[in-house]
Homo-oligomer: A and B are copies of this chain.
Amino acid sequence: MALFQPGISLSRRLRRTPFSEGVEAAGVKGYTVYNHMLLPTVFESVEADYHHLKRHVQVWDVACERQVELRGPDAGRLMQMLTPRDLRCMMAGQCYYVPIVDETGGMLNDPVAVKLAEDRWWISIADSDLLYWVKGIANGWRLDVLVDEPDVSPLAIQGPKAEDLMARVFGETVRAIRFFRFGVYQFEGRDLVVARSGYSKQGGFEIYVEGSDIGMPLWHRLFEAGADLEVRAGCPNLIERIESGLLSYGNDMTDDNTPHECGLGRFCNTHTAIGCIGRDALLRVAKEGPVQQIRPIAIAGDAVPPCDRFWPLYANGRRVGRVSSATWSPDHTTNVAIGMVKMTHWDAGTQVEVETPDGMRPATVHENFWN
């Protein structure tokens, strides 16, 4: 399956990362662009990378998860203005997945908020210039806060052997880090935030590498320490993420969608998130419920072609939704997909049809994702 036929024309605008040298040496074969930065998509092959990820441990250059840093007396107030998730009980040392919405409740990004201190936050962003929204809000509301993009580049360690590898490099105490919590660990005399998180369901960590200069030293250290663990360079894997139901901003949702449509209603405390922009719009959605929602979809037949545009879903000739991500799953021997389905057809077991580039295929709405 040809996942990428045309070439990518490199330029300064598609930013390299502190780990690009390592990624190239590891034989990267494909890229996407994410937050104006190169994000590797395949090393050996998407399928070989997938099998390896589920068995061993990989080091991922996810520097493209850029940080928006908030610093100052109004940092906490601003953070709560940005999201309908209630942040009052969040402590320093915690990470929260936070939908960010505009005044209409449309999703602008779905980042992870990292609370470093009461007056210092990082927002680890998906693919949109959230920095511009946050700066605009801070300016317009005259908040006493500094907002910028620091020199922080996440490096993810993912896979079942991730904890073993991390313990070798940062010490046994990393094993005690709980899910979506972080600790501060030393590397070459520098303090680094290390969180138990990452864009796979195989378990692992994200190291927030502060200072581009230590990027390659840390990369090399991890590979030296993990040689017998079969550590490899990897990247977010298309198959694994769809099986796991990990949504991708820009693919599965855009600013057209509310968090509730994306199945993120549980991250919206619309009644208590006082000050949140878009709260009025979301109160209505929360009360009435969305009319369409993200669902796992199994698509019949052989491996589908790459899903590079919305594939319409039909039932009895009527449009009932669309698929936004799809791929063949070797482990589940079916095509797995993420779709947005109207409420008339979103119940598990509903049979629909999906219009792929090589024709109409039967598809089934599932209850749960595969991993």
Contacts and interface: CB of A to CB of B under 8 A. Distances in A.
Of A11, A248, A306, chain B has the most CB atoms within 10 Å of the CB of A11
A8 B8 contact: yes
A251 interface: yes
Interface stretch (A130-138, A191-199, A220-228): A130-138
A12 B134 contact: no
A42 B11 CA distance: 14
Given A8-B4, A308-B11, A128 B129 contact: yes
Contact of A9 (B30, B108, B136): B30
A309 B16 contact: yes
Contacts of A14: 32-33, 308
B41 A250 contact: no
Interface in A133-152: 133-142
Contacts of A119: none
Indicate the size class of the contact surface on chain A.
35 or more
A292 to B, nearest CB: 16
B10 A7 contact: no
A307 interface: yes
A8 B309 CA distance: 15
A103 B147 CA distance: 11
A5 interface: yes
Given A130-B132, A136-B135, A139-B103, A30 B6 contact: yes
Interface string A108-134: 100000000000000000011111111
A108 B137 contact: no
Contact of A13 (B127, B138, B140, B306): B127
A298 B103 CA distance: 49
A28 interface: yes
Nearest to A306: B10
Interface string A1-41: 00111111111111010000000000011111100100001
Contacts of A11: 32, 248, 251, 306-308, 325
A324 interface: yes
Interface of A: 3-14, 16, 28-33, 36, 41-42, 102-103, 108, 127-142, 238, 248-252, 277, 306-310, 324-325
Shortest beta-carbon contacts, A-B, top 4: A140-B140, A136-B136, A4-B7, A13-B250
14 contacts: A6-B7, A7-B30, A8-B8, A8-B33, A9-B31, A9-B32, A12-B310, A13-B127, A108-B132, A132-B136, A136-B136, A136-B137, A139-B277, A140-B140
